[in-house]
Amino acid sequence: MSTLATARPANYLSVDPGVMSWLLTKDHKRIGILYLVSISVFFLVGAVSAAVIRLSLFTPEGALLHGQAYNKMFSLHGISMIFFFLIPSIPAVLGNFLLPLMIGARDVAFPRLNLLSWYIFVLGGASTLIAATTGGVDTGWTFYTPFSSIYSNTNVTLTAVGVFITGFSSILTGLNFLVTIHKMRAPGLSWSRLPLFVWAHYATSLIMILGTPVVAITLLMVGLERGLGIGLFDPALGGDPILFQHLFWFYSHPAVYIMILPSMGVVSEVIACFSRKRIFGYEFVAGSSLAIAVIGFFVWGHHMFVSGQSVYAGLVFSLLSFLVAIPSGVKVFNWTATLYKGSVAYHAPMLYALGFIGLFTIGGLTGLFLATLGTDVHLTDTYFVVAHFHYIMVGGAITGFMGGLHFWWPKITGWLYPEGWSRAAALLLFVGFNLTFFPQFILGYNGMLRRTYTYPPEFQVLNVMSTAGASILAVGYLIPVIYLLWSLRYGQAAGPNPWGATGLEWTAPSPPPPGNFEKIPVVTEEAYAYSTMETRRA
Amino acid sequence: MTPHIVSTKIYVLVLAALLALTALTVAASFYDLGGGRLHYANAVTALTIAVSKATLVVLYFMHVRYSSHLTWVFVGAGVFWLLVLIGLTLSDVLTRGWLPSPGPWSS
Residue A246 is nearest to which of B70, B81, B89, comparing CB atoms? B89
Ramachandran quadrant class, A414 (left: phi over 0; alpha: psi -120 to 50; beta: rest): left
- What is each CA distance from A106 to A27, A63, A365, B57, in whole angstroms? 9, 54, 41, 34
Greatest Cα pair distance, chain B, in angstroms, is 78
Q: Taking chain A, what is the end-to-end CA distance rounded to the nearest angstrom? A: 17
* Residue in B33, B54, B51 with CA at minimum distance from that of residue B42: B33
Does residue A173 belong to any structural domain of this protein? yes
What is the pLDDT tens value at each position of chain A, 538 positions in all?
444 445 677 899 998 889 999 999 999 999 999 999 999 999 999 999 999 999 999 999 988 998 899 999 999 999 999 999 999 999 999 999 999 999 999 999 999 999 999 999 999 999 999 998 898 999 999 999 888 888 888 999 999 999 999 999 999 999 999 999 999 999 999 999 999 999 999 999 999 999 999 999 999 999 899 889 899 999 888 899 999 999 999 999 999 999 999 999 999 999 999 999 999 999 999 999 999 999 999 999 999 999 989 999 999 999 999 999 999 999 999 999 999 999 999 999 999 999 999 999 999 999 999 999 999 999 999 999 999 999 999 999 999 999 999 999 999 999 999 999 999 999 999 999 999 999 999 999 999 999 999 999 999 999 999 999 999 999 999 999 999 999 999 999 999 999 999 999 999 999 999 999 999 999 999 999 998 877 777 7
For chain A, say whether B73 makes contact (Cβ under 8 Å). Answer: no
Phi and psi at residue A10, in whole multiples of 5°?
A: -55, 130
Give the whole-angstrom CA distance, residue A106 versus residue A100: 6
Chain A residue numbers with beta carbons less than 8 Å from the beta carbon of B78 are: 210
Chain B residue numbers with beta carbons less than 8 Å from the beta carbon of A214 are: 85
Which residues, in sequence order, are bridge partners of residue A382? A449
Does residue A108 belong to any structural domain of this protein? yes
Yes or no, beta carbons of B98 and A313 under 8 Å apart? no
For chain B, say whether A301 makes contact (Cβ under 8 Å). Answer: yes
Q: Which CATH number characterizes residue A157's domain?
A: 1.20.210.10
Residue A296 gets which letter from DSSP? Answer: G
Give the whole-angstrom CA distance, residue A208 versus residue A521: 30
Question: Cα distance from B88 to chain A (closest Cα, Å)?
Answer: 8
Does residue A14 belong to any structural domain of this protein? no
Does residue A17 belong to any structural domain of this protein? no
Chain B residue numbers with beta carbons less than 8 Å from the beta carbon of A210 are: 77-78, 81
* Domain coverage including residue A56: 28-537
Is the preceding peptide bond at A146 cis, omega within 30 degrees of 0?
Answer: yes
For chain B, say whether A298 makes contact (Cβ under 8 Å). Answer: yes
For chain A, say whether B92 makes contact (Cβ under 8 Å). Answer: yes
Nearest chain A residue to B93, by CA: A310
- What A365-371 contacts at long range (C-beta under 8 Å, 24+ apart), as own/partner pairs, is A366/A391, A366/A441, A367/A321, A367/A325, A367/A392, A368/A321, A368/A322, A368/A325, A370/A302, A371/A299, A371/A302, A371/A318, A371/A321, A371/A322
Chain B residue numbers with beta carbons less than 8 Å from the beta carbon of A298 are: 84, 88
Cα A319 off chain centre by: 26
For chain A, say whether B101 makes contact (Cβ under 8 Å). Answer: no
Question: Cα distance from B27 to chain A (closest Cα, Å)?
Answer: 23
Helices (H) and strands (E) in chain B, counts: 3, 0
Does residue A229 belong to any structural domain of this protein? yes
**Secondary structure element (H or E) that encloses residue B100, with its range:** none
Q: Which residues contact A267 (CB under 8 A, 6 or more apart)?
A: A335, A353, A356, A357, A400, A403
For chain A, say whether B77 makes contact (Cβ under 8 Å). Answer: yes
What is the pLDDT tens value at each position of chain B, 107 positions in all?
567 788 999 999 999 999 999 999 999 989 888 766 666 888 899 999 999 999 999 999 999 999 999 999 999 999 999 999 999 999 999 998 888 766 677 65
Give the whole-angstrom CA distance, residue A254 versus residue A212: 9
Cβ proximity of A432 and A367 under 8 Å = no
Q: Which residues contact A170 (CB under 8 A, 6 or more apart)?
A: A87, A88, A117, A208, A212, A258
Chain B residue numbers with beta carbons less than 8 Å from the beta carbon of A300 are: 88
Strand, coil or helix: A449 = strand
The amino acid that residue A220 corresponds to is: L
Cβ proximity of A106 and A100 under 8 Å = yes
Yes or no, beta carbons of B78 and A210 under 8 Å apart? yes
Which residues, in sequence order, are bridge partners of residue A415? A493
Look at residue A7 in the predicted model and tell me its pLDDT.
62
Cα A514 off chain centre by: 27
Give the whole-angstrom CA distance, residue A403 versus residue B56: 48
Yes or no, beta carbons of B88 and A312 under 8 Å apart? no
Cβ proximity of A85 and A44 under 8 Å = no
Q: How many domains does chain A have?
A: 1
Look at residue A4 in the predicted model and tell me its pLDDT.
46
Give the whole-angstrom CA distance, residue A393 versus residue A386: 10
Which residue in B73, B74, B81, B82 has the most chain A C-beta atoms within 10 A of its own C-beta, making it the best mutation to test that interface? B81
Yes or no, beta carbons of B92 and A210 under 8 Å apart? no
Residue B34 gets which letter from DSSP? Answer: -
Range 212-271 of A in CB contact (< 8 A) with B: 214, 240, 242-243, 246-247, 250
Question: Cα distance from B77 to chain A (closest Cα, Å)?
Answer: 8
Chain B residue numbers with beta carbons less than 8 Å from the beta carbon of A232 are: none
Look at residue A1 in the predicted model and tell me its pLDDT.
43
What is the DSSP secondary-structure string of A82-126?
IIIIIHHIIIIIIIHHHHHHHTT-SS-S-HHHHHHHHHHHHHHHH
For chain A, say whether B61 makes contact (Cβ under 8 Å). Answer: no
Chain A residue numbers with beta carbons less than 8 Å from the beta carbon of B89 are: 243, 246-247, 250
Question: What predicted TM-score, i.e. pTM, was given to this entire model?
Answer: 0.93
The count of other CB atoms within 10 Å of the CB of residue A15 is: 12
Does residue A6 belong to any structural domain of this protein? no
Chain B residue numbers with beta carbons less than 8 Å from the beta carbon of A304 are: 92
Residue A313 is nearest to which of B81, B85, B91, comparing CB atoms? B91
Yes or no, beta carbons of B84 and A309 under 8 Å apart? no
- CB neighbour class for A408 (10 Å; exposed up to 12, middle 13-18, buried from 19): buried
Does residue A397 belong to any structural domain of this protein? yes
The count of other CB atoms within 10 Å of the CB of residue A93 is: 26
Cβ proximity of A520 and A186 under 8 Å = yes
- What is each CA distance from A319 to A41, A180, A209, A292, B90, in whole angstroms? 39, 36, 26, 15, 17
Does residue A430 belong to any structural domain of this protein? yes
